[in-house]
Structure 1
Amino acid sequence: MKPLSQAAADQFSTIQFLLTDMDETLTHQGRLSAETYTALEKLQTSGIHVVPVTAAPAGWCDQMARMWPVDGVIAENGGLFLQRSPDGLGVDRQFWHPPEHIEHVREQLKSIAGVVEKMAPDAQQADDQVFRLTSLAYRRTDNDADHRIVDVLRQAGANATINNLWVLGWLGDYDKLTMSLRVLANAYGVNAETAHEVVAYSGDSANDAPMFEFFKHTAGVSTVIDCLPQLPIPPQWITHGPGGPGFVEFSNAILRSASTNARDASER
């Protein structure tokens, strides 16, 4: 893991897509700055496809997909992909599970939540739970309690992980990476081999581990250092700043590479 400031000017010249975590990667201390929003807009204007890939609930991501300068949003750690409809007035949703299975999944999650309530009575559902469609989320408290919830979720038949805000549970053989590869293939015609070269990823948390492992061009914002023990493979680069400021550093590096590549092409 090297400081991003040491990256060569053309380091990211092959990048066509920037996938990014949201909480404490795009945001900092829970807020999205004007500078970060502008960075998203500059990337989109330059032709870089931006897709946040987040554990945040579908309700939050619906608003992001409608109003932010992004190509779409992968929500709930991979449970669904939301994309602005062609007329720009609505949002199309593509779930990991077949549509006819969604209600059954929701009933199963409700049952698992009941198990957690009995086996870990101190667990508190996140205040955004009402906006979730494919997952369970619990407030983080302390390390032992958080891992107790993970254990109960798994014993009840769910997959589970921890990020910097929530303990997460879901049903289905997916994570951020598997859903990202599905979206890249189905929405953009980019297979996994090509994605390895043309996709960059930025993140800060343990549930970003599959993305850091798979993609070649990865950057952690500075706070990623706190979860390095949980990352089998760290990001290739680390920014100077945390959250939003760190993301702006990475987006500027990608845009600089695109500009260098365009200038070199015009001189040939």
Structure 2
Amino acid sequence: MQQLSLAPGDQFSTVQFVLTDMDETLTYKGRLAATTYMALERLQAQGIRVVPVTAAPAGWCDQMARMWPVDGVIAENGGLFLRRSGNGHSVERKYWHAHESFADMRKQLQTISGIVEKAVPQARQADDQAFRLTSLAYRRSGTDLDDRIVEALIDAGANATLNNLWVLGWIGGYDKLSMSLRVLAETFGIGAEVATELVAYSGDSTNDAPMFSFFKHTVGVSTVVDYLPQLPTPPAWITHGPGGAGFVEFADAILGARLNMPSGTSA
């Protein structure tokens, strides 16, 4: 892992897609800065497709897909993909789960939540749980309670992980990476074998591990150092600033690489 400021000028010259975590990668301390939002617009203006890949609930991501300068949003750690429709006023949703199994999955999550909350009475669902369609989220305490909730979720038959805000549980065996590869292939026609060159990813915590391990162009905002012990593969680069300030550094590096490309070439 090296400082992003040391990256060669052409390091990101092949990048055509930016996938990025949201909480504490685009935001910082829960807020989205204007400069970060403008960085998303600047990327799109140069023809780079931008897709946040987040554990945030579908309710949040619906608004992002409708109104933000992005090409879609992968929500709930891979549970669904939301994309603005052609008329610009509605959203198309594609779930990881097949349509016919969706209702059963929702019932399973409800059963699992009861098991978890009986096994760990101190567990408290996140205040955004009402806006989730494919996952369970519990408030993080920063204590061993978090690990106990993870264990209870797994014992109840769920997949589970942590990020900087929540203990997350879901059914289906997917993660950020598997849904990202599905979306890249089915929506944008980009296969996994070429995605490693064409995609850059930015993140900050544990549930970004599959993305850091797969893609070549990976950047952690500065606070990723708090999660390095839980990351089998660290990001290739690290920013100076945290959260959105770090993402702006990342966007500037990608856009700078385009400026450094020889005339007559294209990404």
Instruction: Please give the TM-score of this superposition, normalised by the length of structure 2.
Output: 0.98
Deviation, 1:173, is 1.4
Q: In 1, distance between residues paired with 2:259 and 2:101?
A: 46
Paired residue type of 1:43: L
Matches within 5 A, 1:29-68: 29-68=29-68
Q: Are positions 1:221 and 2:184 aligned together? A: no
Deviation, 1:176, is 0.1
Matches within 5 A, 1:32-181: 32-181=32-181
Q: Are positions 1:265 and 2:263 aligned together? A: yes
Partner of 1:15: 15
Q: In 2, distance between residues paired with 1:117 and 1:89?
A: 39
Q: In 2, distance between residues paired with 1:151 and 1:227?
A: 19
C-alpha distance after superposition, 1:168-218 (max 9, x if no partner): 000001000000000000001100010011000000000000000000000
Q: In 1, distance between residues paired with 2:94 and 2:211?
A: 20
State the SS of the aligned residue for 2:263.
helix
Deviation, 1:142, is 2.7
State the SS of the aligned residue for 1:141.
coil
C-alpha distance after superposition, 1:12-51 (max 9, x if no partner): 0000000000000000110000000000000001000000
Partner of 1:208: 208
Q: In 2, distance between residues paired with 1:74 and 1:117?
A: 27
Q: CA RMSD in A?
A: 0.8
State the SS of the aligned residue for 1:160.
strand
Q: In 2, distance between residues paired with 1:242 and 1:117?
A: 34
State how many pairs are aligned: 265
State the SS of the aligned residue for 1:54.
coil
Deviation, 1:91, is 0.3
Q: Mind listing any 5+ residue stretches in structure 2 that lack a counterpart?
A: none
State the SS of the aligned residue for 1:210.
helix
Paired residue type of 1:12: F
Q: Are positions 1:189 and 2:179 aligned together? A: no
Deviation, 1:143, is 2.8
Percent of aligned pairs sharing the same letter: 69
State the SS of the aligned residue for 1:265.
coil
Q: In 1, distance between residues paired with 2:141 and 2:10?
A: 43
Q: In 1, distance between residues paired with 2:148 and 2:117?
A: 12
Deviation, 1:265, is 2.3
Q: In 1, distance between residues paired with 2:93 and 2:264?
A: 40
Q: In 1, distance between residues paired with 2:17 and 2:258?
A: 12
Q: In 2, distance between residues paired with 1:66 and 1:259?
A: 30
State the SS of the aligned residue for 1:177.
helix
Q: In 1, distance between residues paired with 2:258 and 2:39?
A: 14
Instruction: Please give the TM-score of this superposition, normalised by the length of structure 1.
Output: 0.98
Q: In 2, distance between residues paired with 1:125 and 1:20?
A: 25
Deviation, 1:101, is 1.0
Paired residue type of 1:215: F
Paired residue type of 1:265: S
Q: In 1, distance between residues paired with 2:103 and 2:66?
A: 24
Paired residue type of 2:263: A
Q: In 1, distance between residues paired with 2:175 and 2:247?
A: 22
Paired residue type of 1:85: S
Q: In 2, distance between residues paired with 1:266 and 1:153?
A: 54
Q: In 1, distance between residues paired with 2:188 and 2:33?
A: 29
Paired residue type of 1:100: E
